[in-house]
């Protein structure tokens, strides 16, 4: 029997604003074992199993993005490490490193990282982001509603022991963890890690008003410059952060400030959600359905859907935070992926 013809590789990924897309973020699950107050409501309804892309479908779609020029993939959630058999996906994607893919990374809350750190490193992951908004046990438990920061610290230690470079992601929250930001930066610098500070984003309905906790990062940076020797750094991780080198250390401080310092002009990324929708922008509702495409028409249909998405990618997001205002987008961050 004659073999099937190889699928032709279409053009590389360039959106209508002439930006090359080189970065794909994949939310492998909308589920999480924490309930961070700025991210989720306390009582969440998660997607049924049939609405979620299978790991095989995720691998096939991700591989197609690599074929078309994506060089970096980040696996996110929810919490990616709660997805059953997650390591099979990591291993499949890790096999593409050096074959189109330059980097495979992961964002995790680290509650299960102590178990997965060594396998992640063996699969080709070299650096990870850990979401941790406080090192104080009581504050951490309040923000996450029930989390144990000791689990996270154990996961970080295991990651470093496995040779993974760790960056801490900390959402800056007025009146809640703002007094911990400078100590957090000192701690990460002392332990050879990096720190990214993030402005809270208006995504999904939660139980609180985000405007009450919004802390502008230019305000935070001004305070930190009074305590640390911070020098602007041209380092580019492929994401939206702007970086400063922490003097006398090997650590960097990154600021992700979608509300006070729009970074959309250089956007190089798209996001694949848990339910198979390709989101061209975190701050817009528009998307195309890659789940329907791959299930009904295979990778050729996926290519066509990707092309439609690129033609519709907006120039910038519409994030804003105002007291009492509805979220900029209705979906939660855990569905889209951070």
Backbone angles phi, psi at 113, to 5 degrees: -70, -30
CATH code: domain of residue 323: 3.20.20.70
Q: How far apart are CA 254 and CA 269, in angstroms?
A: 18
Whether residue 60 is contained in a domain is answered as yes
Classify 106 as helix, strand or coil: strand
Does residue 40 belong to any structural domain of this protein?
A: yes
Q: Is residue 138 included in any domain, yes or no?
A: yes
Q: Is residue 243 part of an annotated ligand binding site? A: no
Domain that holds residue 323: 23-336
Q: Does the annotation list 90 as a binding residue?
A: no
Q: For residue 184, is it within any domain?
A: yes
Number of neighbours of residue 37 by Cβ within 10 angstroms = 21
The model carries a pTM of 0.86
Flag whether 32 is marked binding: yes
In a domain, 46, yes or no: yes
Contact assessment for residue 317 and residue 264, using Cβ atoms and an 8 Å cutoff: yes
167 marked ligand binding residue: yes
Distance of CA 327 to the CA centre of its chain: 19
- Write the pLDDT tens digit of every residue in 45-99: 888 988 999 999 999 999 999 999 999 999 999 999 999 999 999 999 999 999 9
- 17 in any annotated domain: no
As a whole number of angstroms, the distance between CA 86 and CA 120 comes to 10
User: For residue 73, what are its two tokens?
Assistant: 């993939």
DSSP 29: -
For residue 271, say whether it is annotated as part of any ligand binding site.
Answer: yes
192 is known to lie in a ligand binding site: no
Does residue 14 belong to any structural domain of this protein?
no
Residue 68 annotated as lining a ligand binding site: no
Number of domains in the chain: 1
Residue 313 annotated as lining a ligand binding site: no
By the 8 A CB rule, do 134 and 38 touch? no
Q: Per-residue pLDDT tens for 264-296?
A: 556 788 999 999 999 987 666 788 999 999 999
Look at residue 70 and tell me if it is in a domain: yes
Give the H or E element holding residue 183.
helix 181-190
């Amino acid at each position: 029997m004659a073999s099937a013809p190889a699928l032709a590789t279409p053009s590389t990924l360039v959106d209508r604003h002439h930006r090359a897309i080189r970065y794909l973020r994949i939310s492998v699950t909308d589920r999480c074992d924490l309930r961070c107050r700025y991210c989720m409501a306390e009582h969440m309804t998660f997607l049924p199993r049939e609405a979620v892309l299978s790991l095989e479908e995720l691998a096939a779609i991700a591989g197609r993005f690599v074929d078309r020029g994506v060089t970096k993939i980040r696996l996110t959630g929810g919490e990616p490490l709660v997805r059953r058999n997650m390591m099979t996906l990591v291993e499949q994607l890790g096999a593409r490193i050096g074959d189109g893919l330059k980097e495979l990374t992961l964002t995790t809350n680290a509650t299960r990282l102590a178990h997965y750190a060594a396998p992640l490193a063996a699969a080709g992951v070299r650096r990870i982001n850990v979401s941790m908004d406080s090192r104080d046990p009581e504050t951490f438990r309040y923000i996450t509603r029930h989390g144990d920061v000791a689990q996270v610290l154990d996961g970080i230690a295991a990651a470093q022991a496995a040779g993974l470079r760790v960056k801490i992601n900390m959402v800056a929250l007025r009146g809640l963890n703002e007094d911990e930001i400078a100590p957090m930066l000192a701690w990460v610098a002392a332990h050879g890690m990096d720190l990214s500070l993030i402005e809270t984003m208006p995504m999904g309905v939660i139980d609180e008003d985000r405007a009450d906790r919004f802390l502008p990062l230019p305000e935070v940076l001004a305070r930190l410059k009074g305590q640390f020797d911070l020098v602007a750094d041209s380092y580019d991780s492929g994401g939206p952060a702007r970086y400063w080198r922490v003097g006398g250390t090997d650590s960097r401080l990154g600021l992700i400030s979608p509300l006070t310092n729009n970074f959309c002009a250089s956007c190089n990324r798209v996001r694949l959600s848990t339910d198979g929708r390709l989101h061209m922008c975190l701050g817009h509702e528009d998307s195309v359905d890659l789940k329907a495409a791959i299930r009904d028409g295979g990778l050729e249909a996926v290519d066509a859907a990707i092309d439609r998405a690129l033609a519709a990618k907006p120039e910038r997001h519409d994030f804003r935070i105002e007291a009492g205002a509805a979220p900029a987008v209705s979906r939660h961050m855990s569905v889209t992926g951070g």
